[in-house]
Amino acid sequence: MKTTLLTTIVAISVSPGVTILSEADFDATNTLNGGGGGATMTVVTDPAGGTNQVGAIDSGGAGVWGAVSNVGSQGTLTLPSGVIAGTDTWVATFDLYIPTATTFTETDRVNLIVRRNNTNGNGNNVADNNVWNSLAADTWHRISLNGTIEAFETDGTTPVTGYTPILSFYDRTDGDGANTEAGTGTSAYIDNWSFTVTESAIPEPSTSVAALLGLALLGARRKR
């Protein structure tokens, strides 16, 4: 009797994968809360025209630090289990529109802040700060931050298991030393928010002939 064993080794290809941890286009998807501190957010029609929906920010609350963040778990986004610290990356981005009739004054600004875990200070957060009148009015601008995923907080011992992105609407103290609070009304609009993680090694089985690493053929014969 002749027995033949055919072994096929199939290659495993490796390619980057992007995981969306938070997003908001306000038409179909919104993982952001309704604001906190001195800011509230409502959904309205795009002020630049069209029928798409956007978030309208009202900075007329009592707090100086108004913010919009992710819903739940204090806004912290948990990293996927397969990320490689020091290699894989994150990207936070949104569109910002400051109307001519904004309630912002003087040095008020819009900040995009990203914290390791939910730890503030001591180098655990990065920010893109924009004074409201440094951007052209009545047009959409892209605000973005990115970075490489760290293994630890800056203390060198606390593992980074997630990130906390914050869209901050800072009603700052005015140049004359007074803090003139923003009045009730729209300070800014936001749209197309996302926080994504790119994983460098995502295994995918390949079915193409070119992906075959080799064939092993073993023949065995027995006589009885």
Q: How far is CA 89 from CA 1, 33, 85, 113, 162, in A?
A: 57, 25, 8, 16, 12
Cα Dmax for the chain:
105
Over residues 182-218, the pLDDT tens digits come to 778 999 999 999 999 999 876 555 443 333 334 333 3
Residue 184 Cα to chain centre, angstroms: 29
In sequence order, what are the beta bridge partners of 203? 14
Over residues 81-128, the pLDDT tens digits come to 999 999 999 999 999 999 999 999 888 999 999 999 999 989 999 999
How far is Cα 116 from Cα 89, in angstroms, rounded to an integer? 13
